Amino acid sequence: MDQITKDSNLLQVVKEFPETIPVFMSFGLGCIGCAVAKYETVEQGANGHGINADALVEELNKVISKKVSK
The tens place of each residue's pLDDT in the chain, 70 residues long, gives 789 999 999 999 999 999 999 999 999 887 666 777 789 999 999 998 999 999 999 999 999 997 655 5
Fold of domain 10-68 = SP0561-like (1.10.3910)
What's the whole-model pTM score?
0.87
- Residue 36: CB partners within 8 Å, gap ≥ 6? 45
Residue from 65, 62, 27 nearest 43 by CA: 27
Q: Return phi, psi of residue 9, to 5°.
A: -70, 130
